[in-house]
Amino acid sequence: LFLSSQRDENEPPGPKPLPLLGNLLILDVNKPHLSLCDMAKQFGPVFTVYFGPKKVVVLAGYKTVKRALVNYADEFGDREIMPLFHDFTKGHGILFANGESWKEMRRFALTNLREFGKKKIEEKIIEETCHLREEFEKFEGKPFETTQLMNYAASSVISAIVYGRRFEYTDLHLRNMVDRANESVRLSGTASVQLYNMFPFLGPWLKNWRLLMKNLELDIKDISELVTSLRQTLNPQDLRGLVDSFLIRKQTAEESGEKNSLFHEQNIIFTVSNLFIAGTDTTSTTVRWGLLLMAKYPHIQDRVQEEIDQVIGGRQPITEDRKNLPYTDAVIHETQRLANIVPTSIPHMTSCDVHFNGYFIKKGTCIFPLLMSVLWDEDEWETPHTFNPEHFLDKHGRFVKRDAFLPFSAGRRVCLGESLARMELFLFFTSLLQHFRFTPPPGVSEDDLDLTPAVGLTLNPTPHKLCAVKRS
Ligand code: HEM
C-alpha cells in the first residue's frame, strides 16, 4: 500500500505521490477530469497520477489518445475492472469484462444489433419519439424536468431491441429499472464510492456502496424474471430480440454437449444489464443537454427549426433526412462535443508491457483516455470552450466531419452502441424540435440557465426545468 516516491525508470512523469494518499490532495475527486486536464498542461500528454495507492496513466489530447487507442489498439484495449465494477458483474457481460468472454459477448451483441436491422431499429425509435412527444404535450407548456421521461424513452428503445417489446412509461418494471439505474449512476460518481475503489476494504462501512449493491440485487432479480418469461414462450421461428437469440445459442450449446460455452445465465443477465446501463443515461443525458442548449441559445434554436420546417415540414423525420439537415446535424455533434458526458472514458488497462511515446508502461496499468481533452483540445477546435455549431460546418454551410470528435471513444473498446445512439440522438432531437419550442421557465432568463454539469458517473446537466411550448 505504501508508495515510494521513486518512479520506475522511463515511467511517464507526474506529480509526486504521497504514501497511501498518492495525489489525492491535488485531485478534485468529484471532478477528476478537470484536475487531470490541468495536469496535462503541466506534465504533457502522457502522465502518471496516483488515486490513493492506485496508479493511473492518463492519455491526453487528440493525437495521443487516437494513437494509443487506434495504433496500439490491443496494447491499450483491455478494461480496467475496478472493485466496484467487479462487484457488479464478476467479469461477465461486456462493459467490465476482458478476454474470450468479452470478445464473444461483444461480437454477439454487435451481430445482433446488425441482424435486427437498421430499418427495424429506426421504426422502434420513431415509435418511441411519438410516445415521448405525447408526454411532453401533457405539460401544456408549463415547466418540467425532462430527466425521467427522456430516460424512459431511451430505456424503452433498448427494451425493444433486447426483450422485443417497449414498455409503457407507467410500467413498474421500466420505472424501477430506470430509477435504480439513475440512482446507481449518481452514487457511482460520489466521493465515498470513489474512495471504495481505492480502498475496497471500506465497502461494508460505506452507505452508498451498500445502496449500490442493493440496487444491483434488485436489477438481477428483475432481469432474471423477464428472461424466464421469454424462455417460457420462446419460438425459434420468431425471435423477438437479443435475449431470444441468446437463449437459442445457449440451448444449442447445451444440446451439443458443448463444455465451457460462454452463453450461460450470468452472461445473459450482465450483457442485458450492461446494454441498459450504457445505453440509457448516455443517450438521455445528451438529448437533455441539446434541449438545454437550445433554450439557452434561442437564435440557434431558430435556425434548427427553420431548417427542419423547410426540409421536413410536418411529416415524421427519418434517418435519411440527416444529410439534408446539415445545421441540425452540426448542432447535435456540437452538443456531444461540448457536453462531453464521459470525460475520462471508461478506464482501460494495458494488456502487455508497452513502449509508448518514449515511455514504458507496465502490463496491467490502469489507463484513462481523457476524452474531454480530445473534445476540448485547443489545437483541434477553434473555440473549444463555447457552443459553436460552426465547428462542424464549412463556409458553404455543409456538414464536415471532424477527426477529434470522439465522444464514443475509439479502437477496440469503442462504444458498441454508437450507431444506435447516433440514430436516437438525431430522431429524438429533430422530432422534439419540430414540435416544441424549448424555453426557460417564466421569470428565468436564458443567461440564468446553468451549463455547469452535476457530479455523477456521466456529466449531466444540473437539475433544471424547461418549458416545451407546442409550435403551431
Ligand atoms: C462503451 C459513450 C450510447 C453501449 C462506451 C464508451 C464510451 C461510450 C465513451 C467507452 C469506450 C472505451 O472504453 O474507450 C457513449 C455515448 C453514448 C452511448 C456518448 C450516447 C450518446 C450507448 C448505447 C449503447 C451503448 C445506446 C447500447 C447499445 C456501450 C457498451 C460499451 C460502451 C456495451 C462497452 C464496450 C466494451 O467495453 O467493449 N460508450 N455510449 N452505448 N457503450 Fe456507449
**Would you say the CB of residue 421 lies under 6 angstroms from ligand 1?**
yes
Return the pLDDT at 3.
Answer: 46
Return the pLDDT at 144.
Answer: 97
Return the pLDDT at 208.
Answer: 87
Q: What percent of the chain has pLDDT over 90?
A: 78
**Alpha carbons 359 and 57: distance in angstroms, whole number:** 11
**Alpha carbons 328 and 300: distance in angstroms, whole number:** 9
Place 201 in a pLDDT band, splitting at 50, 70 and 90. Answer: confident
More confident residue, 197 or 16: 16
- Residues ≥6 apart with Cβ < 8 Å to 40: 47, 58, 60, 61, 370, 373
449 CB neighbour count, 10 Å cutoff:
19
Mean pLDDT of 422-450: 96
Place 118 in a pLDDT band, splitting at 50, 70 and 90. Answer: confident
Single-letter code of the amino acid located at 233: T
Mean pLDDT of 115-127: 90
Q: Is residue 398 packed enough to be buried (19+ CB in 10 Å), middle (13-18) or exposed (0-12)? A: exposed
Q: Which atom of ligand 1 is nearest to the CA of 425?
A: 21
**Which residue in 326, 291, 354 sits closest to 153, CA to CA?**
291
Mean pLDDT of 326-331: 98
pTM: 0.95
The predicted-structure confidence for 401-411, as pLDDT tens digits, reads as follows 999 999 999 99
The predicted-structure confidence for 15-70, as pLDDT tens digits, reads as follows 999 998 999 999 988 889 999 999 999 999 999 999 988 999 999 999 999 999 99
Q: Which atom of ligand 1 is nearest to the CA of 413?
A: 38
Mean pLDDT of 196-211: 82
**Alpha carbons 162 and 153: distance in angstroms, whole number:** 14
Return the pLDDT at 6.
Answer: 47
DSSP conformation letters of 79-137: EP--HHHHHHHTT-SSTT--HHHHHHHHHHHHHHHHHH-HHHHHHHHHHHHHHHHHHHH
Q: What is the DSSP letter of 18?
A: B
The predicted-structure confidence for 360-392, as pLDDT tens digits, reads as follows 999 999 999 999 999 999 999 999 999 999 999
Pocket residue to mutate for ligand 1, from 85, 118, 282, most atoms within 8 A of Cβ: 282
Q: What is the mean pLDDT of the chain?
A: 93
Place 8 in a pLDDT band, splitting at 50, 70 and 90. Answer: low
Return the pLDDT at 158.
Answer: 95
Q: What percent of the chain has pLDDT over 70?
A: 98
Grid coordinates 433554450 are at which residue? 295
Q: How far is the CA of 77 from the centre of ligand 1 (A)?
A: 14
Q: How far apart are the first and last CA of the chain?
A: 65
Q: What are phi and psi of 460, to 5 degrees?
A: -95, 155
Mean pLDDT of 162-183: 89
Mean pLDDT of 266-279: 93
Please determine, for residue 252, whether its predicted confidence score (pLDDT) is greater than 60: yes
Q: Which atom of ligand 1 is nearest to the CA of 348?
A: 13
Q: How far is the CA of 336 from the centre of ligand 1 (A)?
A: 13
Instruction: Identify whether the C-beta of residue 341 lies closer than 8 Å to the C-beta of residue 458.
Output: yes
More confident residue, 258 or 100: 100
Q: How far is the CA of 200 from the centre of ligand 1 (A)?
A: 26
Please determine, for residue 394, whether its predicted confidence score (pLDDT) is greater than 50: yes
Return the pLDDT at 7.
Answer: 56
**Would you say the CB of residue 283 lies under 6 angstroms from ligand 1?**
yes
Instruction: Identify whether the C-beta of residue 179 lies closer than 8 Å to the C-beta of residue 171.
Output: no
Mean pLDDT of 68-81: 97
Return the pLDDT at 209.
Answer: 86
Return the pLDDT at 82.
Answer: 84
Single-letter code of the amino acid located at 399: F
**Which residue in 387, 296, 278 sits closest to 339, CA to CA?**
387
Return the pLDDT at 4.
Answer: 42
Q: Atom 28 (ligand 1): residue with closest C-alpha?
A: 417
Please determine, for residue 289, whether its predicted confidence score (pLDDT) is greater than 50: yes
Return the pLDDT at 189.
Answer: 76
